[in-house]
Amino acid sequence: MPCTLALIDLKIYAHPTKLLDCYNKAMNIVQTPVLQSLDAKTNSLAEILAVFNRDGGVIVLNMLSQDVVGKLQAELVEPTVAIAPGAKTDDPMIQKFWGSNTKRFTRLAWRSKTFADHVLVHPLFREVADAALLANCASYWMNTGQMMIIGPGEKAQWIHRDADNWPAMCSLTAPDVTISCMFAITDFTSDVGATQVVPGSHLWGDFSRQPEPHEIVQAVMPAGSGLIYSGKVLHGGGANNTSDVWRQGLHLSYLLGWLTPEEAGCIGVPQDIAKNMTPQQQQLLGYRAYVSNDLYAARLWTVDYEDVPVGLNWQEK
């Protein structure tokens, strides 16, 4: 269909968005997308889900209290300081993806009780994940809980989709397999490397298409906020253009319970700690079996074909 003001198919009038796109192309107008900010204290779950489904990502202010942010920083200060930037692997692609001046570490449920109690089982993030994932699984578990600390002078990470970890599941027609939240532990500004996002890219018909520069926006948000985004939306760490500021982000993602996650969650948390956690925490970390079908006794991730706590003799009945 020619996209001119003189020749517009009348059927397009039933689609205001398509009409606007046609007009913008005809007038050579570049539309810059917007990453919308909502507030956990004032906006409803329905409002948050509406933006998430439309754009593939949404900033939610006040997801973590300043007290929780302070406790996370205090409990994670040792690895934050001690761990060297850059990847230890010799794989050049992983090194490039990781970044030469970016620190990453996991095992957060072992390193921080505040993470286990307030982030791993965050009620709002769980509600969004329920809506996004439970149509295609009986339960989901933690894909990874990871500190991502971008240092001064770090280049922008390449734009990618998290669902690319499971290539057969990364397409417009495939179900959502993963959902993430990037929690700002320090303020995310454009200068320190706020996460880059391409709103709407989870709905592109061609997932091989690369975004134009004007389609990329940054998740600028204060500490305590969270960027909730789909595994199908294009995103990446921003460039840190400062000389002395480290951007601290905490990435938590959930994954369909029948797929293999990035992080070996239960290996990173000792049994002595895990056995005292709630069943919900245990399940997210991989200390519970995945029960896909009660009727046919279909269970995954078992010990002696028992649920994990039973197989490990935690005196579970």
The whole model's pTM is what?
0.89
The list of the chain residues with pLDDT below 50 reads 1-18, 317
Residue 23: its pLDDT value, please?
60
C-alpha 119, offset from chain centre: 13
- Structure-token pair, residue 152: 């001064």
- Structure-token pair, residue 140: 């989901």
Contact 87, 95 (CB under 8 A): yes
Residue 1: its pLDDT value, please?
44
Residue 8: its pLDDT value, please?
44
Task: Kindly indicate whether the domain formed by 33-286 is annotated with CATH number 3.40.50.980.
Answer: no
Phi and psi (nearest 5°) for 253?
A: -135, 150
Residue 293: its pLDDT value, please?
75
Residue 31: its pLDDT value, please?
76
Start and end residues for every CATH 2.60.120.620 domain found in the chain: 33-286
Q: Whose CA is closest to 251, among 115, 97, 145, 109?
A: 145
Q: Whose CA is closest to 103, among 73, 148, 145, 72?
A: 148
